[in-house]
Amino acid sequence: MTQLSVNVNKIAVLRNSRGGYEPDPARFARAALDAGAHGITVHPRPDQRHIRVTDIGPIAAILGDAELNIEGNPFAPARDGYPGLIAIVADSRPAQATLVPDGDGQITSDHGFDLARDAQRLRPLIAELRRAGCRVSLFVDAGCADVERAAEIGAERIEIYTGPFAQAHARGDAARALAQCLDTAQRARKVGLGINAGHDLNQHNLGELLAAAGFIDEVSIGHALFAEALVDGLATTVGRYLNILARADR
């Protein structure tokens, strides 16, 4: 069955808007796992506007057998309070590191790597992350022309950026975006890559994505999941996502 990794960044955004310690991202990570989520995702950015580097240890400590996925830009230089993605991974030893080409000014991740341009810069960083013992996934656009290069430079998975699919789905015109997701997943699978997906997925569009590309290993969902949980509660919301995944698996 496709695994559900819950991104708890939005809990940190709420905490940071007020200052102090509440709500605690580690507490919500534990609640998501208790509700059946398979893993937790965090994306510490250099400006630490949501998840902070100091959040990662407490979250890792409550995971048990669940997976920690740390996202970040491996090209972003270290600075005060942010030692760089490679150092964070080396210290926390997550199950997975997802490399994302987001700049400091981006509100959220909104595009994948240009592998024609970035592959050779990524290669040694991927090797270093794998030596730290974690699986490496690369964030790519649906329709990525050279997704096969992810395998050539040592990545073990890709994460398909599903924002355009979600937008098309909301408009009622998702066929082309779905076809791009499926083509990218099929080509990646042929060269031995695992397939993750994430961004703007929700209870309305996830089932259609899984039905079109039924061999997705993991979905990472945060913004929509916590928005829905504000109305229905976290345990209920996680349970509904798990039901969508189970139906797709059948």
Instruction: Average pLDDT across each block of 10 residues of the chain; the chain has 250 residues. List them in order.
Output: 97 96 98 98 95 97 97 95 96 97 72 93 98 97 96 98 97 97 97 98 98 92 98 98 93
152 is catalytic: no
43 is catalytic: yes
In the block, tokens 């310690």 appear at 21
71 is catalytic: yes
Position 107 scores a pLDDT of 63
For the record, the structure tokens of 172 come out as: 């009622």
Cα dihedral 74, 78, 79, 85 in deg (nearest 10): 50
Position 90 scores a pLDDT of 96
10 Å CB burial of residue 181 (0-12, 13-18, 19+) is buried
Position 202 scores a pLDDT of 98
pTM over the 0.85 mark: yes
Considering 50, 67, 199, 218, which one is annotated as catalytic? 199
Position 129 scores a pLDDT of 98
Tally the C-alpha atoms within 13 A of residue 126's C-alpha that lie toward its C-beta. Answer: 24
Position 214 scores a pLDDT of 73
Domains of the chain: 3-249 (3.20.20.70)
Considering 38, 67, 71, 169, which one is annotated as catalytic? 71
Position 105 scores a pLDDT of 67
Position 68 scores a pLDDT of 98
Cβ contacts of 176 within 8 Å, gap of 6 or more: 168
Position 182 scores a pLDDT of 96
Torsion sign across C-alpha atoms 157, 211, 108, 32: negative
C-alpha angle 240-243-249 in degrees, rounded to nearest 5: 150
